[in-house]
Structure 1
C-alpha cells in the first residue's frame, strides 16, 4: 500500500470514529440514537416501539434504535456500559437509581436541554426526584402510588366504612378494620414486604416520617422520630398482636400474594398501582375487586415515589437530538399512551387530566386522585443509601416485622448502625 493511500485510509477511519462515538452515530448526515427501554408489559413494549417508529417516520435526520433492557439488571448493566463507553444515548430508569450515576458524571445535566413546555408541565415535586446538586439528570414521566387492592364483596358483607381519597382511613382505623375482617384462618391484610424498606419509608411520609435529615453542613443523618414509627408499628402490630396480617407474606413479592387474595384468604393487599393489570388479567371470573387509597396520617395522603425516568448519557455526542426525542416521547398524548401501557400515572399535568385516566374501571380514578400527594422518596438523594438499605435497614425491618426485635432496637439499628454507614459517604 502506498503511503499516500495509507494516509487517506487513516483519515477516513478517524472521521468514521468521530461520527459514531460512544452511544450513537451518524450515517450520511443522519444521526443515530440508541434508546434503551425497560418496558416489559406487552402493552407498554408495544406503545414504546410504536412511538419510536412514529419518530423515525417523521424525523429522517435523527434515527432512533430501540434497545430492550431489563429492570432486573439495569443498574449493573448501565454501570458497565458507562465505564466501557457503550452507554445508550437515551436511558430509561427510575429516579432512585440515578444518584450515583449523576454524581459520578455519567448522566448529562438536562437543565438547558429541555424545552420550557416540558419543564412547566411536570410539577416541581416530581423534578425534585431527579435533581442532584444543581443539575437535572432525568425526566420523571411515570409514577405509581401504593394503594389497597380489596376484595369488594368481602368488604361489602362486613359493612366496614369504605375509604375514598376524600375520606381515607387513618392508620389507626385501618388497623381496626383489618382486625374486624380477620378470623377463621383469614386475614384482613397481606403485606408483601420482600422490600420492606422502600414500602415503609414511602408510606411513612403520610404520617410525617422523614427519617433522613440534612444538616446545615449538608450532611445527612438518620433520626427515627414518632412520625417514622407509625407505619412500621401498624404493620408489626397487625402481624404480631392482632393476627390480622398474614405472617407468611411478609417476605413475599406482590405477585406472590395474588393467589391467596383471589382465593379469599386475604381481604386486602397493599400494592403498587400498576399491579392492577396483573389482577385484571388473572382474577377468576366473577371476582369483584376494587382500589382503595392507602391510609392517611398527619400529612394526609402523602407518599414517597421514585418515578420512572428518561436520561441522556453524558458521553452521547448527540445530546440535543436525544433531548428532542425525549420531548417527543413525553408529549401529553404520547405520555398517556405510555401510562395506559404501564398502568401507571403520568407526572405531567396535561396528560394526567386525560379522561382515559379518570374512569372508575380498574380503579383509575382513585389513582389519579392520589397524584397530588406523591412526593420524592425520602432516600432519593442520600449517598450511601443502597448500602444502608442492604446492610442495616432491610434486616432490621425484617426482624421487627417478624417480632424478633422491638421498636427500640429497630430505632437503635437504623440510627446508630445506619449513621456509621452514611458517614463513610460524607467525609
Structure 2
C-alpha cells in the first residue's frame, strides 16, 4: 500500500527522542505537561481533523498523520468534514468530549473554531494547526506548515518561466512581452491563500509595472480573484466568464496564475473548452499550480499544465507527529519561525517546510526518485492504492 511505503520514515523519525528548543508558546498544553499529556503506559489518544476527502492531498495528509501517530503506539481518531464547517466543529467537539490528549486540526475556516479551542484549553488539550493557521484564538499551541509566502513567490516565478521571461535558473531573459495574464487566488477563509497571493503579487509587480505582463481584466485584488472553498467548478466558471468578457475580441491570453492544482484543472477545462490548446505546444496558456496532485502531474507530463509546487506532505505529517509527541511528553515542539504567523491574537510558534517547483523535467528526480509517485502512476494519472 502506497501510504505505508511513504510513511515509514515518518514513524521512524517521530519515534526518536528529540532535543527540542523552547518556542515560547503559552496556550493549552504548553508548560509543565500536567493534565492531558500521556504518561508511562497510559493510552494516548489524538484527534485529527481534516477538511475534506474531496482532494487527494487531504486524504494523504490524514492517513500519513494517522500512521505516524500509530507508529508511536497512539490511538487516533481521524475525521474528514467534507468541507462543511458545522461538521468539523461537531467532530472536534466530540474529540474533546472523548478526552483526546492532543488535537491536530486542518481547518476549513480558520476563524470558526474559537469555542472548540476554548474547550480544548479548558481541558488542557494542546492544539496543533496543520497547514492552515487557526485564527483569532490564543489557544493555538503550534503550527506546522510550509513557507506559504515562498509558495506564492515560486508560483509567480514558475509563471514567468513558463512565459519565457525567466530561464530555468531564475535569471531574466531578453523576453519583454508584453504578456497577458489572469490571476486566481485561494479561498478567502484559508489564511494560507493570502500568503500565496501576496508572495505571487510581490514577485509579479515589477513586471506588471514595467509592462512585461499585464492583466487585461484589471482584476488584481485578492477579493476579486479569490475562489471560495478552493472549488474547481468556481474556478472554471470564473475563467469562462473572463474569456467571454475580456478575450472575446481576439485578445490573446498567455498565462494564468493558479494557486492550487484543483483550480488548475478547472481553469484548463475552461481554456480547452474555449478551443485553446489542447497542449502548451499547441497554444494552451501557461497555467501554474500547487500540491503536485497525481492528476496534475500527468497533465504536466503530457504537456498540458506548465508547473506545480510540490509540498512533501510526508514531511508535514512527520512534523505534526513530532510536535504531538513533544506535547504528550510535556515538552515544547521545536519551532523554526516565531515571528511570521500572527493569528490576530498571538504569534503562533511554527515549523516551516520548504517547497519545490516541478516542471515536466522535474517529475522524475523530484517525485519518482523520491518515492512519492511511481512512473506508472504518473503515466496513468492515478495512484495505485
Question: With structure 1 as the length reference, what TM-score do the two structures score?
Answer: 0.38
Which structure: greater helix fraction?
A: 1
Give the structure with the larger strand fraction: 1
TM-score of the superposed pair, with normalisation by structure 2: 0.42
